[in-house]
Chain A
Amino acid sequence: MSFPILIIETLAGGRLLVLALVLPLLGALLAFSTGGRAARRIALVTALAGLVVAAAIALQLTSSAAALDYAFGGWAPPLGVSLRADGPAVMMLVTTALVIAATMVYAGVDFQPAAGQREGRSGLVFWTLLLALWAALNAIFLGQDLFNLFVALEILTFSAVPLVCLNGRAETIGAALRYLLFALLGSVLYLLGAGLIYGAYGLLDLGLLAARIQADAGAAPPALWLALGLMTAGLMAKTAIVPLHLWLPPAHSGAPAAASAVLSALVVKGAFFVLLRLWFDLVPVPAGWLLAQMQGALGAAAILLGGVMALRQTRLKLMVAYSTVAQIGYLFLIFPLAGADAAVAFITVGVALDAGTAALTGGLLQIVSHALAKAAMFLAAGRIAARLGHDRIDDLGGVGRAMPLTLLAFGLAGLSLMGLPPSGGFAAKWLLLRAAVETGQWWWSLAILLGGLLTAGYLFRVLATALREAPDDSAIADARAGTGPAAPGPALAILLLAGLSVLLGLVPLGYWELIQIGRPGLYQPLGMVP
């Protein structure tokens, strides 16, 4: 074995990756150290800097059409740890920065210390852990090392769980504890798998491991398969795919709206992104055909079960939480669809695509459009609940008149979740649907279509009720009389997220060009790689 041990920085762009990871971390430490009202100001400054860094990385990547790499301390893997920004990572970096910044604008005045207090409990915890969660997510998107990814997943867990029980009520503490147990089980299984892989190969770097696994194609050791099985199970528990979804609805609906937004939009996607890295970067999907079919089946079950459960809810926030269970299901269809015969090509919107690229593009687009739409939906639900003092769906009458901007945002986000054109959700589901049809796996297209119908069902129920006139004696009539116009910032932030989730579908369908950056030969099946 001869590896260069020390490498010297060549690209200044690599430093941007370090900043994407370290700036939110520094912000979290400073927010905790100073505390008080400064915590929020530090968070807002960090958000601004983080947005700039994410945009700069995206610009650098699209202009050079090559991935960015960085080795910490100049130590190249396998001795050191490296970061890498490829197309999918950059999509996630930008989405995360947008959702977190919008959430901060929304949460601007919530979590303020009470009058006469220097610092409140929920404020310190919220601002510190929101920044911590951001750092963890960026570490996951950029991470190239199995153990480094584990540490990132741990930070994600420890910053996400306390956000669930920020209101301190017994039932939300129970939901947070259940979430913690599921997440820790997932961590243990992941770590066990990473340890086994190190035992078999003596490597932790994804790139080096992938080369070794490709080299002994067909003769992979049993340790690799057991490790992948354990890690997949662990990450599924963290992603809350059916039947491991039981922790999600109480946790996501019980948290304050600003926390629910990031938990539902981003945190579950963090674990899923590691799953994508394992199955697309470490071992190509065709190698695990049966497992891919099983993952698809869980996805389809989640789409249907989540949809039916959402339809049966009487509380708005619980309904939105069950909708997340369903929308996560679509992501797991990537595995059987992208793993199918990659030679199947078809033309959609004037571009020739192979089925694998279409499925992966559709899946990543689903992650992004759901992140934007779900964050908007939870924030809108939070505003409605704050205004009405309740979130019973049947009593939402008058909301359309009292809070038109918020309801508009809710509706736009719903458009994307249902998958109606021209939204980003439509583009995502269309690509998945085409991939299912073209590869002859029609059974997945049934799940996609039925899921769309169920989504339309539960969302129209909310919209129809909200557009009705309020009865004169209802809370909304009182609320309208009592309060003047609210500050426009939060409503505009929600509208921005919802609008972006729709506009994603209008942007020329060039996502696969971005996704392909830094991933040559991704879709070649195991035997064909030179």
Chain B
Amino acid sequence: MTPTLFADLGLLIILLGLALLITAARPAFIAVAAYMAYGLVMALAWVRLAAVDVALTEAAIGSGLTGLLLLGAVAWSQRHTQFQARRLGLRPGIPRRAGAGRGLTLLVALACGGVSAGLAWVVLTLPEPAPSQVPLVQAALPITGLGNPVTGVLLVFRAIDTLLESVVLVFALVGVWSLASDPAWGGRPRSLHVVQHSGALVLLGQLLPPVGILMGLYLFWVGADAPGGAFQGGTMLAAMWLLVLSAGLAEVPAVASRRLRLLITGGPLLFLAVGFSGWAFAAGFLGYPPAWSKPLILAIEAALTLSIAAALAMLVAGPPERPTAADPQPDPQPERNQQRGHR
């Protein structure tokens, strides 16, 4: 048994154990914590499979950002159930997942077991070596001036998919905002609102961002030639912004803010503009003139990094809410926006 095989087996066992914990744990908090751990171990597994780009994305989005969203949901439902319990005069408990009927549980278990068994069998029958387009990508990559084949696929050969995915993020945010109440529309999301300043959080919010922003920018910049890119860099920037916001060092922008909206759509809009320019200067829509392809790709990635960061941070911040009496100071922003509308 070689040492690497030993390490791989260890990863596998930990992954299976965490997966079981996620499905079996009744308190929602434990399931989410296990899910975040699962994402990190999965990232290690991707590294072992030599898919470093996937590993970075898994760690940043799969574990970090999704975990943060789920933690937010657990915290919210905890507040909600405690509020309900107090209203009904019950003892507040820990939020648990609603138990499904035994028949349904059995059906779901059978379906999942069946699919897993089918996958396990079929994966063993897949051709060896795996057929892939890697040789074709390697052959065409020099035309693009890029060094990272993953970025080549994402921004050149299959640029349309990346364009559409960056737009999905905008529409997901519209979906989250649509859950606001009508009177709160135009205002600021308040889930990150600071009621009491915590010294430790403020210190972190001042110390970490310079380093984190540098790392986020590095991830975007290095993406052209090495693992990294707009999604990983954007997630890093979003995390730093969220840290500053939840430390109370800056205010969450109002959803009516046109600057915020342009920041969110800027990346996809620039991507589209470059796409159209391909009709005049290159082989077609979303094509790049060979001499210009690397600078154009870097410009698109830069704009996408900022747009992704803004969209992800606002997804975590949630829908706008009306200020409550408990808030320390009222904010004048929504009124200002409305006045601007009157003119």
The answer to whether B342 touches A155, judged by C-beta atoms less than 8 angstroms apart, is no
Contact A117 B164 (CB under 8 A): no
A206-221 interface bits toward B, Cβ cutoff 8 Å, 1 = contact, 0 = none: 0000000000000001
Q: What string of 1s and 0s marks CB contacts (under 8 Å) between A2-34 and chain B?
A: 010111110000010010001001101100111
In the complex, chain B residues whose CB is within 8 Å of the CB of A196: 119, 122
Instruction: Tell me, in angstroms, the Cα distance from A116 to B177 when the chains sit together.
Output: 21
Minimum distance in angstroms from A368 CB to a CB of chain B = 26
Q: Is the CB of A168 within 8 A of B182?
A: yes
Chain B, range 225-279, C-beta contacts under 8 Å to A? 256, 258, 261-262, 264-265, 268-269, 272, 275, 278-279
Shortest Cβ gap from B2 to chain A (Å): 26
Least distance between A83 CB and chain B CB atoms (Å): 9
Residue of A nearest to B143 (CB): A6
Interface-centre pick from B170, B181, B272 (highest chain A CB count, 10 A):
B170
Residues of A within 8 A of B137 (CB): 79
Instruction: Find out whether the CB atom of A168 lies under 8 angstroms from the CB atom of B181.
Output: yes
**Which residues of B sit under 8 angstroms from A124, Cβ to Cβ?**
174
Contact A202 B338 (CB under 8 A): no
Q: Which B107-154 residues have a C-beta within 8 angstroms of A?
A: 115, 118-119, 121-123, 125-127, 130-133, 136-137, 139-140, 143
A251 to chain B, nearest CB (A): 14
Q: A155 contacts B175, CB within 8 Å? A: no
Where chain B touches its partner, the secondary structure class is: helix
Query: In the complex, are the beta carbons of A222 and B125 less than 8 A apart?
Result: yes
In this complex, how many residues of chain A approach chain B with their Cβ under 8 Å: the count is: 68
Judged by a CB distance under 8 angstroms, whether B156 is at the interface is yes
Interface contact A74-B282, CB-CB below 8 Å: yes
Interface string of B263-307 (1 = CB under 8 A from A): 011001100100100110011111110000000000000000000
Partner among A33, A201, A226 whose Cβ is within 8 Å of the Cβ of B265: A33
Given contacts A32-B170, A81-B160, A162-B175, contact A73 B288 (CB under 8 A): yes
Enumerate chain B residues within 8 angstroms of A158, measured Cβ to Cβ. Answer: 168, 171-172, 175
User: Are the C-beta atoms of A125 and B178 separated by less than 8 Å?
Assistant: yes
B168 neighbours in A (Cβ, 8 Å): 151, 154-155, 158
Check A35–B177 contact: CB distance below 8 A. Answer: no
Residues of B within 8 Å of A26, CB to CB, are 269, 272
Q: Is the CB of B186 within 8 A of A73?
A: no
Chain A residues whose CB sits within 8 angstroms of the CB of B185 once the complex forms: 117, 119-121
Question: Does B126 contact A223, Cβ atoms closer than 8 Å?
Answer: yes
Complexed CA–CA distance, A118 and B343 (Å): 10
Would you call A242 an interface residue if the criterion is a C-beta within 8 Å of the partner chain's C-beta atoms?
no
Known contacts A118-B256, A125-B174, A162-B175; is-contact A139 B338 (Cβ 8 Å): no
| B-chain residues with CB within 8 Å of residue A230 when the two chains form the complex | 115
Chain B interface residue bracket vs A: 35 or more
Chain B residues, CB < 8 A from A148: 158, 160-161, 164
A165–B177 alpha-carbon span in the complex (Å): 12
Instruction: Give B159 Cβ to nearest chain A Cβ, in Å.
Output: 6
- Whether A323 sits at the interface, judged by CB under 8 Å, is no
Asked if residues B287 and A129 are in contact (CB atoms below 8 Å), the reply is: no
| Interface of chain A residues 143 through 199 with chain B (CB within 8 A) | 147-148, 151-152, 154-155, 158-159, 161-162, 165-166, 168, 173, 192, 196, 199
- Is residue A200 within 8 Å, beta carbon to beta carbon, of the partner chain? yes
- Cβ contact within 8 Å between A73 and B132: no
A525 adjacent to chain B (CB < 8 Å):
no
A173 near B179 with CB under 8 A, answer yes
In the complex, per-residue mask of A77-114: 1 if CB is within 8 Å of any chain B CB, else 0: 01111000000000000000000000000000000000
Chain A positions near chain B (C-beta within 8 angstroms): 1, 3, 5-9, 15, 18, 22, 25-26, 28-29, 32-36, 70-75, 78-81, 116-122, 124-125, 128-129, 132, 139, 147-148, 151-152, 154-155, 158-159, 161-162, 165-166, 168, 173, 192, 196, 199-203, 221-223, 226, 230
**Given A72-B285, A73-B157, A80-B158, 16 other A-B residues pairs in contact with their CB atoms under 8 A:** A6-B140, A29-B272, A32-B174, A72-B287, A73-B278, A75-B283, A79-B157, A119-B185, A129-B175, A154-B165, A155-B171, A161-B175, A162-B175, A168-B181, A199-B126, A222-B125
The 4 lowest CB-CB distance pairs between A and B, nearest first, are A74-B283, A118-B341, A202-B131, A73-B287
A selection of 11 A-B contacts at a CB cut-off of 8 Å is A5-B139, A8-B284, A29-B265, A29-B268, A72-B287, A73-B284, A124-B174, A132-B167, A165-B178, A196-B119, A199-B123
